[in-house]
């Protein structure tokens, strides 16, 4: 009976991959519909022109979404700690190293790749790219969203909860594309970068 339960347990990598799935499905659908990145961006530009309120909502979501989500995760972690579960110091250090590594990699990759953003207006200041116009790859907002949700997906485990966790970075990436700040491939690179960082830190913490 015990061996059957053990064999039925999901693979530890499954929550990570499920967390990536919503964004991958979104990008796959967009490329299937439009074939080219330029066509996707032009469609979003035309849609923004006739839906200014949706553009405003997307802008506010990008501006405040990650901060609010991070605060929620911290509150959940503190609540868990108050219930008597002792924190794992090695895991906490690996998590801190993970955040530092992926955000630093994002900062330097933006300067190394120096990819132009899609044509159109862009924000005057961005922590990851203060000079803005040639800092499209990767998406700092999407990297941050995945950096928050991948550990959460690993924590909650199973199938449905990691998929729900993955909806947040997918919506964040969609909002960045909708606003004309990033190309679709920027979001794909952001997902791969953040997953690789989390996978390495998770493996180190498991040793």
Cα–Cα distance measured from residue 109 to residue 184, given in angstroms and rounded to the nearest whole number? 17
- How would you classify residue 124: left for phi > 0, otherwise alpha for psi between -120 and 50, otherwise beta? alpha
Longest dimension (CA), the chain: 61
Cβ atoms of 151 and 195 closer than 8 Å: no
Token digits of residue 196 = 């690789």
Cα–Cα distance measured from residue 170 to residue 177, given in angstroms and rounded to the nearest whole number? 11
The pLDDT tens digits for 143-202 are 999 988 888 888 787 878 889 989 999 999 999 999 999 999 999 999 999 999 888 887
Give residue 54's Cα distance to chain centre: 21
Q: Which pTM does this prediction carry?
A: 0.82
The pLDDT tens digits for 7-57 are 455 677 888 899 999 999 999 999 999 989 999 999 999 999 899 899 899
CB-count exposure of residue 136 (10 Å: 0-12, 13-18, 19+): buried
């Amino acid at each position: 009976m015990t061996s059957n339960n053990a064999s039925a347990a999901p693979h530890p990598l499954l929550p990570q991959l499920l967390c990536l799935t919503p964004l991958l499905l979104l990008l796959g659908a967009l490329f299937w519909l439009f074939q080219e990145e330029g066509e996707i961006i032009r469609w979003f530009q035309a849609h923004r022109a006739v839906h200014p309120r949706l553009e405003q909502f997307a802008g506010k979501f990008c501006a405040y979404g990650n901060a609010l989500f991070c605060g929620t995760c911290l509150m959940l972690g503190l609540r868990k700690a108050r219930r008597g579960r002792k924190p794992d110091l090695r895991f906490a250090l690996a998590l801190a190293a993970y955040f530092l590594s992926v955000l630093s990699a994002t900062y330097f990759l933006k300067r190394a790749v120096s990819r132009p953003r899609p044509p159109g207006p862009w924000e005057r200041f961005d922590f990851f790219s203060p000079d803005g116009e040639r800092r499209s790859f990767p998406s700092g907002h999407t990297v941050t969203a995945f950096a928050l949700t991948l550990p959460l997906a690993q924590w909650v485990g199973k199938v449905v909860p990691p998929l729900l966790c993955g909806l947040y970075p997918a919506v964040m990436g969609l909002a960045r594309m909708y606003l004309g700040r990033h190309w679709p491939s920027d979001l794909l690179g952001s997902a791969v970068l953040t997953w690789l960082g989390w996978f390495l830190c998770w493996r180190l913490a498991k040793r």
